[in-house]
Amino acid sequence: MIEKPVFLNISGSHLYGIPKPEDIDIRGAHIINEENFWKNFGKQHPSWCIEKIYNGIDIVSHEIQSYVK
């Protein structure tokens, strides 16, 4: 099962109108899938954040409930 994205947006230098092709940052929030929820349930610091670098694009997404807090 894959987490469901709620939203993604471009941040960093692109957000401020100074685009650098080698520096693209994407931030967002997602709904965690049930398997990962139960795997992390009750942990002091659950790992509900997705961090990936793909072809120079830095993608970070937080679980929606922790994002809203």
Domain limits of the chain?
4-68
Q: Give the sign of the dihedral formed by CA 17, CA 69, CA 44, CA 40.
A: negative
What does the mean pLDDT of the chain come to? 82
* Residues 17-44: tens digit of each pLDDT: 887 777 788 999 999 888 878 887 777 7
Note whether 1 and 35 are within 8 A (CB): yes
Q: In the chain, pLDDT over 90 holds for what percent of residues?
A: 10
Q: pTM of this prediction?
A: 0.70
Q: What is the model's pLDDT at position 20?
A: 77
pLDDT over 50 at 1, yes or no: no
